[in-house]
Chains A and B, each alone.
Chain A
Amino acid sequence: MNDLNSKNFTSHLKNYAVTYMFIALSVFFIAVSGLDINYVASQLLLRLNRNAFIVMALIIPIIAGMGINFSITIGAMAAQIGLLLTISWGVTGVPGILLAAGITLPLGLIFGYLIGSLLNRMKGQETIGSLILGYFANGAYQLLFLFIFGGIIPLSDKVTIVGATGVQNTLNLTGSVGLSTAIDSILRVPFLQTVYVLAAVVLAGSVVLWARKKITKTRFLALSIGAVIVAGIFLLPPVANVFNGSHGREIRIPVVTWLIIGALCLFNATIMRTRLGQKFRAVGQSQVVANASGINVNRTRITAIMISTVLAGWGQIIFMQSEGIGTFQTYAAHEQVGLYAGAAILVGGASIDRATNMQALIGAFLFHSLFITAQSASSNLFGNAVVGEYFRAFLSYGVIALALILYAARSARQRKTNLMAMAAQNGAAKE
C-alpha cells in the first residue's frame, strides 16, 4: 500500500513537474516584483476571466489525439471578422456580442472543417501543422482585411480607411461602439461574497446529497470541511483585506462571464460522457483500434477541430470585450492567441495527449501570474524592465518546447517497453 502510494506520488511529481516549477516561480516573482498584492490579485482574476475560455478550447483536440491545436488562431480570426461586421453595422451591447458570436459560429465550423481535413493529411505532425496553418491563415486574413473588406465587400466608414482600401489598424470598442465589457458589466459581485456564497452552496449541497445517500461519507467530509476551510481562509482579515478594498480597490468579478466559463467546463465534462466523447477518447488513444471498432477516425478528428475552432472564436470575443482591452488591434489581435493558450494549458499540467478543465484553469492562473509580475520583477532584479518582456516570451516558448520534449521522451520510453514486451512475448512463443 505504502509502496503504491509513493509510486503514485513520484509519477504525480513527474507529470506535474512543470506545474510545480511554475508555482515556485510565481511565488518568487510575486515576492520579488514588489507589486501590491491587491493589484496582483485583481489583475489575476481579470486575466483568468479573460483567457480561461480560449485555453479550454484546446482540450477536446488534445483528447482526440491531435496535440496542441495552435490553429485556434483561425477561430480567433473568425471571431474578429464577426466583431468587425458588428462594429460596421453599428450593433452595440449584448445584442452586438451575440451577433458577433452568431457570425463566428458558421465561420468557425467551416474553417474548422477545412483545418481538420488538412490536419488529417499530416497525422503525427498536427502540432507543427496547425502552427504553420495559423501563419498561413494570417496571410489570408491580411488579404481579406487589407484588400477585400472595404474594397470588394463594402463596409461602413467607421471601420475602413477613408480614401484607401482596407480596414483601420485599430478599432475602438468603447464609447458609442458599446462592445467593451458588454458581458462583464451585466452583473458584478464582490469577490469575497461570491466565495462565501459558493462555500455555503457546496456545504449545503454536500449535506443534502449525503442525507440522500448519494455520496460516501469520506467525500461528504472532504467537501464540507474543504468548503469551511476555504470560507474560513477568506474570512481571515489579512486575506479578506486583499479583496475587500481596504487596500486599493475592492475586487469584483463579472458573474455572467464566469457563468459562461462554467458552462464550457460543464460542456467539456459532459461531452466526454456522450458517444461523441467516447469516440474522441478512442481515436486519441489509438487510431488503429478506433478504426477497427468501426469509428470513422477522420470524421471524428474533424469534429474535434470544428468544436475547438468555434469555442476559440467565442473565447476571443470574451477576450476582446474584457475590461482593460478596449481596442481591437485589427491586424495583430489574433497573433499570440495560440501561443499563450498553448503555453497556459501546458503549465497547468496538461500534456500533448491529455488535458482537463482543471489543468486549463490552473494553467491560465499560473501562466498569467508570471505574466503580470515578470516586468516589475526583472526591473527589480536586473534594473531593466525590457528583460522581463523577453522573459515572458521565453517562458511561453520554453514551456511548449519543454512539454514537447517531455512528451517525446515519454512516448520513446513507451515504445521501447512495448518493443521489449513484444520481444519477450515472441521469445516465449518460440519456446
Chain B
Amino acid sequence: MTAIDKKERRRLLSGKQYVGAAIAALAAVLLVAAIVGYAIRETGTVSGSLKNMRSDAVVHIASEGIVDKIARDAKAARLKELRANGYNGRKFREIGLSEVEALTGEAEAQARAEAEALYSSPVVSDPAALERAVAALEERLAAYGQLRASERQAFSGLYVSLVDGTASWTDLTDAAGEDDEALFKALCAVEPRLAQESNAHLKPAFIKLARDMAETERARRARELETQLIQQVTGGVSDWAELASLKDNELWDALCREVPALQDNPTAKDAVMAQAKANIQTAQAGGEVTVQDSAATEGNTPVSETQANYKYFAPSEQLARLESDKDEAHTALWEQLTGIIPSLSGIQSKDKSGILENVDQLLWPGELSFSSRFQSYSGQVGAKDAGFATRLAGNAENLLLLGIALALLAVILIWWETLTRRFGVPRVIILLFFLYLILAAQYYNISIPLMMGNVLERMVMYGILALAMMPGIQCGIGLNMGMTIGCIAGLMGVVLSLQFDMTGPAGLTFACISGAMIALPLGWAYSILLNRMKGNEMTISTYVGFSFVSLMCIAWMMLPFTNPKIIWLLSGQGLRVTHSLLGSYGHLLDKFLSFEVGGMTIPTGGLLFLGLCCLMMWLFSRTKVGIAMTAAGSNPRFAEASGINVNRMRSLGTILSTVFAAIGIVIYSQSFGYAQLYTAPRQLGFIAASAILIGGASVRKARVAHVLLGVFLFEGVLVFGQQIANSAVAGGGLSEVMRIMISNGIILYALTQTGGGRRE
C-alpha cells in the first residue's frame, strides 16, 4: 500500500465512525435538552407545578394509608370470623399459609376496592392552606435533618479520631477505675475537641463507649490466647488417633502435659477440648490434622477503616428543640389532612405515625435537589399531570448523564483506532470503565467528591510502591516482582520503631530510614543474583520474592523482639500478624495539613511526600547516572559499547527499587493504620506492577507520569467499583473479583507485548 492510499483511507470515515458521528449528534441533542431542563427549573410555572405535585403526593400518601388500614381491618375481621367458625391454630397449620391467604385475601381485596373508590381522589377544599402546612413541615424537617446530619458527622469525627488515637482501651479504663470524670479526662487527652462546651452532651455516651471498647478488647485478648493455645495443642500432639480412647478429664490431663501453659488458663478449656475432639475425629477418619497459621486464625483484628457506631450518638439540646418544632408542624399538617379525608381522624395513633413517617420520607429524604423531589413526588402520584416543562426539568440530570455517556461512546467509536494504537486496548478499556463508574456513581447518588478523596488516600497508600517499579523497569530487570524483599525491609523498620515505642514523626522517620537501611544490602545481594539471570528476571524475581516472604514468616516467629505490645502474649515469642499504628503514627502523613474541599478530603502530607518522591525519581532520571541506567536497560549492548558498566547500572536500579519499596510499605502502613506481617506482603508486587502498567508503562519503559496516572486509575476503578458493586449488586465479592481480573489481566497483556520468540 502506498503512502497516498493510506492518506486517502484516513480521510474517509469508516463505518464505525459513521455510527459514532450519529451517536454524537444524539448526545448533543440530549445535552441541549438537559441544559434547557436545568434552566427552566426556577421559573414560576415549573416550580409551582412541582409544589402542586408535592401536595398531591402528601394527600396520596394519606389516602393510601387509610385504604391500607381499611383493607387490613377487613382481613383481621375475616380472620376473626374464621376463628369463630372453628378454625383454630392447628387447623391453620394443617391447611397451610397459602390457603389461609386465599381465605382472607378475598375479603381484603374487596374492602380495598371499596375504600379506593371512596378515597382515591379526595377533594382538596383549600389547596393554599395545605400547601402552607406542607411547606412548613418541609422547612422544619430540613432544619432538623441538616442539624442532625451535621451533629452526626461531628460525632463520627470525634468517634473515629478517639478510636484511632487510642492504643489500648483497657489501659485507659483500668487507669481511671470506676471514676467517670477521670476516664473522661483521659479521653479528652486523646481527643481535645471532646472537652469543648459544644460537645458536653456527648460525655456520657463516650464514657460508655470507652467501657464497652475495653470489654471488647478483653474478650479479643481472651480469644487470641485461646487461638494460641489451640495452635500449640494441635501442633504439639503428633498422633491424635492415639488419644481417642481417653475420657474427657484424662484427655485434658494429657493435653496439659503436652502444653503446660494450659493449666494456667482454664478459661480456654472448652475451646481447646472442642478442637482436640475435632482433631481426634479428623485423625480417625484418616485425615490430616494441621495447624492453622496465625494469619488465617487472626480474623478478628480490625483491618478495615474505623467507622462510627451511631448507637452511641446523643442529640444536643438544640436538636431536641428542633425535633419538637417538627412535631408541631406534623400536627398542623394532620389537621389539614383530616379536613380533606375526615375518616383519618378515626384511625389509631400507630397508623397515624406510620402515615406521617411516609410523609417525612417523601419531604426530606436527606437531601433536596429538584430531580430527587420530582422523582419521589411522581413516584406517588405519577408525572402525567405535571406538564412537559416540569418533566423536562425533573429529568435534566438523567438526560445529562445519558448525553455524556453517549458522547463518550461517540468519541471512542470515532477515534478507536488512534486511541488503541496510542494506549493499547486494555488501557482504553480501563479508562472507559473508570468513566463509566463515575457516571454510575452519579446515577446511584454516591458522593463523587467523597470517593475522589478516598482515591487520593489510596494513591498515597500505593503510590510509592508503584514508584518502586520504575527504576527496576528502567534499569532493565523488568517488573520487579521481588520488591517484596524491600517491603519486608520496610516492615522491619516499622516493627523496630514499635519495639522502641517510638511515636509521631520521629517514629515514622525512624521506620522509613531504618527500613531503607535494611533494604540497601538486601537489594544489593538481590541485584547480584538478578545480574546472573538476565532474560528471566521476572519469573525468578517472583519466586525469589515468594520464597523470601515465606522465609521471613519463620523469621518473624523467631526474631528476639521483646516489646509486649508487638509479640504474642502467651509464648512471649514471635511477632503478631497485625500491628496497629493508630496509637503511634497511623494516618500521620495523611492528616498533616489535610483539608476538605467540597466534601473531598485531601491528604495533603501524603500527597506532598508522594510528589517529593516522584520529583526525586524524575530528577534522578535526568542526571548523568540516571540516563546511563536507562540506556543500560533499554539497550545493554549499545550501553556496554559506550563504556557503561551495565551490571553496575542494573544493580543501582534494583537497589533503588528495593529501597523505594521499603519506604513505600512504611507509607502504606501509616495510611492503612496497620502494619501487616507474615504472608500479607506477598501479592504487593503484583498490585504495584499492575498499577504502573495501567498508567501506560511497559516492561521496558516507564515514566513518573505512568506511576501517577496508573495508581490514580487503578485505585479509582477499585474505589468506585467497590462502592457501586455494594449499592448495585448484593454481596461484596464482586469488587474483589474485579481487582483480581484487572490486576492480573494487565500484567498478562504486558507479557504478551514483550514475548514472541525472544527465546531463540
Which residue in chain B gives the minimum CB-CB distance to A166? B731
| Interface-lining segment among A260-268, A273-281, A402-410 | A402-410
B-side interface residues, number (CB < 8 Å)? 66
The answer for the CA separation of A405 and B547 in the assembled complex, in Å, is 13
Chain B residue numbers with a CB within 8 Å of A128 are 538-539, 542, 751
The answer for the CA separation of A34 and B679 in the assembled complex, in Å, is 29
Given A142-B736, A384-B573, A385-B232, A408 and B533 touching (CB < 8 A)? yes
Given A127-B539, A401-B540, A324 and B756 touching (CB < 8 A)? no
Given A124-B758, A125-B751, A391-B554, A164 and B731 touching (CB < 8 A)? yes
Given A123-B757, A124-B758, A164-B730, A394 and B554 touching (CB < 8 A)? yes
Given A386-B231, A408-B532, A397 and B543 touching (CB < 8 A)? yes
Query: B737 contacts A142, CB within 8 Å?
Result: yes
Given A146-B734, A404-B540, A129 and B748 touching (CB < 8 A)? yes
Query: B532 contacts A412, CB within 8 Å?
Result: yes
Query: A165 contacts B731, CB within 8 Å?
Result: yes
Given A121-B752, A123-B756, A136 and B741 touching (CB < 8 A)? yes
Which residue in chain B gives the minimum CB-CB distance to A135? B744
- Interfacial residues of chain A within 104-136, with CB under 8 A of chain B in the complex: 118, 121-125, 127-129, 131-133, 135-136
Query: B737 contacts A146, CB within 8 Å?
Result: yes
The main secondary structure of chain A at its interface with chain B is helix
The answer for the CA separation of A384 and B235 in the assembled complex, in Å, is 7
The answer for the CA separation of A142 and B557 in the assembled complex, in Å, is 33
The yes or no answer to B544 lying at the interface (CB within 8 A) is yes
The yes or no answer to B754 lying at the interface (CB within 8 A) is yes
The yes or no answer to B293 lying at the interface (CB within 8 A) is yes
The answer for the CA separation of A130 and B538 in the assembled complex, in Å, is 13
Contact of B553 among A118, A123, A390 (CB under 8 A): A390
Query: B287 contacts A397, CB within 8 Å?
Result: no
The yes or no answer to A250 lying at the interface (CB within 8 A) is no
The yes or no answer to B4 lying at the interface (CB within 8 A) is no
Query: A382 contacts B558, CB within 8 Å?
Result: yes
- Interfacial residues of chain B within 549-607, with CB under 8 A of chain A in the complex: 549-551, 553-554, 557-558, 571, 573-574
Number of A-B contacts defined by CB within 8 Å: 192
A-side interface residues, number (CB < 8 Å)? 64
What is the CB-to-nearest-CB distance from A302 to chain B, in angstroms, rounded to a whole number? 15
| Interface-lining segment among A35-43, A80-88, A202-210 | A35-43
Chain B residue numbers with a CB within 8 Å of A376 are 235, 238
The yes or no answer to A287 lying at the interface (CB within 8 A) is yes
Given A142-B733, A400-B543, A401-B544, A123 and B748 touching (CB < 8 A)? no
Contact of B748 among A39, A118, A124, A375 (CB under 8 A): A118
The yes or no answer to A417 lying at the interface (CB within 8 A) is no
Query: A139 contacts B741, CB within 8 Å?
Result: yes
What is the CB-to-nearest-CB distance from B412 to chain A, in angstroms, rounded to a whole number? 24
Chain B residue numbers with a CB within 8 Å of A390 are 293, 550, 553-554, 557, 678
- Interfacial residues of chain B within 498-541, with CB under 8 A of chain A in the complex: 529, 532-536, 538-540
Chain A residue numbers with a CB within 8 Å of B739 are 139
Which residue in chain B gives the minimum CB-CB distance to A174? B285
- Interfacial residues of chain A within 30-58, with CB under 8 A of chain B in the complex: 33-36, 39, 43, 46
- Interfacial residues of chain A within 312-352, with CB under 8 A of chain B in the complex: 323-326
Question: B: which residues have CB within 8 A of A?
Answer: 231-232, 234-236, 238-239, 285-288, 290-291, 293-294, 529, 532-536, 538-540, 542-544, 546-547, 549-551, 553-554, 557-558, 571, 573-574, 678-679, 686, 729-731, 733-734, 736-741, 744-745, 747-748, 751-752, 754-760
Question: A: which residues have CB within 8 A of B?
Answer: 33-36, 39, 43, 46, 118, 121-125, 127-129, 131-133, 135-136, 138-140, 142-143, 146-147, 164-166, 286-288, 323-326, 372, 375-376, 378-379, 382, 384-391, 393-394, 396-398, 400-401, 404-405, 408-409, 412
Given contacts A140-B741, A384-B571, 7 further A-B contacts (CB under 8 A): A35-B239, A124-B757, A131-B542, A136-B740, A166-B731, A287-B759, A404-B539
